[in-house]
A and B are shown apart, each in its own frame.
Chain A
Amino acid sequence: MAAKCIKNEMRKALFSKASLITYLLSFSLVIYHTVTKAEIYNEFYTAYQTGEVQGNPMITAVSLYCNWLGADVTSFATSAFFFLFPIIAVMPYGWSMAGEIKSGYTKNVISRIPRKVYFFSKYFAAFVSGALAVMIPLLLSFLLMSLVLPALHMENIYPYGVIGERSMWAELYYSNPFLYSMLYVLLDGIFSGLTACISMAFAFFTRSQVSVVLMPFFLMLLLDYIDTNVLPGWELSPVRFLQALPVVNERSGVIDLAFCLAFAVFTLGIILYKERKYEAL
């Protein structure tokens, strides 16, 4: 029964109109970013070949590893993608719990199958859909950019594309940047999945679907404000620490893990509580 319920939820999560629109929006950002970067690289390459570039050409500035969507912290597309990631993660399926409670679908389902199965299937579907909504555009960007840009290893002597010694996975960034990039895609995916689950958990407290979708977005903005104004030093805002290169401060693995755990405990805690106490009627 559980497998059937999960399959049903996954089908609803992955093949909905909202999912399609979310992917179209993300892909348009990816394509805009790839085209602008390809143009810049083309100009650079032409100048490099004709000998117009004098002195050190700083060739690693056009490396794939500091120019794909997850790491290009100077570009509009990257900044916009991470600014909007709480909405991108929630839009495919994070809102569904609110919709189903409101429409009465939940009552019909939990009178037929155990509440635990239903809630955890929804949780799983929301997590996967949120994670994929962020991971797929990032992977697509990495693949498209690798068609255009050279995959040069980064060097720490230049004032761009560098991360500090204290920063999370710093050694890996210089020794194996591909693995570093993929780990960041995975981290972003996990965090986005949890963001979609936050939205699902909020559905038990508010009846407004719009509020459920936008709650994680405003929460992330609030965390960004705290990061900017109250607790400087380490990157505390998910909007910033999910970007593969530092925005303002160094990244700490402990902080990332703490956020993941806090979000997981909060969302799972609510689901576990509601699984026992939820009153459908």
Chain B
Amino acid sequence: MRLYRLIRYDIKNGICSRLYLYVPAAILCSVFTIGFYMSLQNRNLENEKLTIINILLYFFEGKEPFSPELGNAFVFPVVWLFIFLYSAFLTLNYPYSNLTGYGVQVITRTKSRKLWWLSKCFWVFLTTFLYFAVWYLVSLVLSLILHIDLSIQYSERICAELLDMKLQSVQAGSVWISLVILPVMTSVAVNLLQLCLGLFFDRIYCFLASAVILFASTYFQTPLLIGNFAMVKRSVMYQENGMDFTQGIIACVALIILSIGAGFWRIRKYDILKKHERGLQQEAEDD
């Protein structure tokens, strides 16, 4: 019951009163979708049957495995990074400002730090889901407006010419996992890691850590960098030795459990009063 109340409190203060933060996400999604749609015209591909899967492949294509050879400059996948970094930004401020403000009162009254931490983890889950829901919903609405096909099929020619991507074996299940489940799970895992790091370091350094992990994922192909699992161009759909879906799900779940566990351990000894004094002035004005 107490947890339910805390979650309700976080939904009200951390989501409902911060809905304006989702507007840039919707605008960005529109810009990226329309930009992609326009690029069809530039490449004389307007007669090709564009589907919503093509658009989602564009969002989550990521970066093909990079080999740092002479004269081969590294170009990072800006759309992919934008999507995940904005998600990290969305979940950056609220837990900290809550802990240094009213959160202290909440912890005192509920008499449980663990419940406070659990509710914040749940809040990160909800915020990330909502954020991705905005992306999918906006692309869906724009697809309807621009008469883009909503089928699970996709145009191979558009993929090859615009995304430089030739997918190996594509089944409906693989599409769902690589375009919906793994991006959302990866983002949740990175955001929870960021939330956990927030109990140790300042917020900006936590965001910096998320940015470095995601950026390094685009450069190095290794299962140790979790961002690799959220890129279609690193998956088994694109390359034979690509990232395995099951491995990706296990890695995300492991990171989520590790972050929540480390947070539990840290919050027990966390000096909330000291932080509260320092953050008292900020709380009133932040968010």
Closest B residue, CB atoms, query A104: B281
Q: Tell me the interface secondary structure of chain A in the complex.
A: helix
Which chain A positions have C-beta within 8 A of B215? 79-80, 83-84
Name the A residues within 8 Å of B211 (CB-CB). Answer: 83-84, 87
Residues of A within 8 A of B208 (CB): 25, 84, 87
Q: Chain B residues near A161 (CB, 8 Å)? A: 70-71
Please name all residues of chain B whose beta carbon is closer than 8 Å to the beta carbon of A21 when the two chains form the complex.
205
Instruction: Give Cα distance in the complex from A209 to B285, angstroms.
Output: 10
Q: Which residues of B181-219 are within 8 A (CB) of A? A: 203-205, 207-208, 211-212, 215-216, 219
Which of A58, A74, A91, A158 touches B204 (beta carbons < 8 Å)? A91
Chain A: interface residue total (CB-CB under 8 A):
42
Alpha-carbon separation in the docked complex, A131 to B204 (Å): 19
Partner of B76, one of A83, A87, A91: A83
- Taken together as a complex, chains A and B put the C-alpha atoms of A80 and B217 apart, in Å, by 11
Q: CA–CA, A80 to B78, complex, Å?
A: 13
Query: Which A residues form the contact surface with B (CB < 8 A)?
Result: 21, 25, 58, 61, 73-76, 78-80, 83-84, 87, 91, 102-104, 158-162, 207-211, 213-214, 218, 221-222, 224-225, 228-230, 245-248
B270 at the interface (CB under 8 A from A): no
- Smallest Cβ distance from A156 to chain B, in angstroms? 12
Distance (Å) between the CB of A273 and the closest chain B CB?
22
Q: Could you mark each residue 242-274 of chain B with 1 if its beta carbon is under 8 Å from any beta carbon of chain A, else 0?
A: 000000000000000000000000000000000
Report chain A residues within 8 Å CB of B281: 102-104
Report A-chain residues with C-beta under 8 Å of the C-beta of B69: 74
Judge whether B287 and A208 touch: CB under 8 Å: yes
B216 touches A214 (CB 8 A): no
Contact B282 A102 (CB under 8 A): yes
B92 at the binding interface (Cβ < 8 Å): yes
Residues 94-132 of B contacting A (Cβ, < 8 Å): none
Contact B78–A246 (Cβ < 8 Å): no
CB of B40 to closest CB in A, whole Å: 12
Residue B93 is within 8 A (CB to CB) of chain A in the complex? yes
Contact A73 B82 (CB under 8 A): no
User: C-beta contact mask, B213-227 vs A, less than 8 Å → 1, else 0?
Assistant: 001100110000000
Please indicate the chain A residues that have their CB under 8 angstroms from the CB of B167 in the complex: none
Residues A84 and B285 in contact, CB atoms below 8 Å apart: no
CB distance from B28 to the nearest CB of A (A): 8
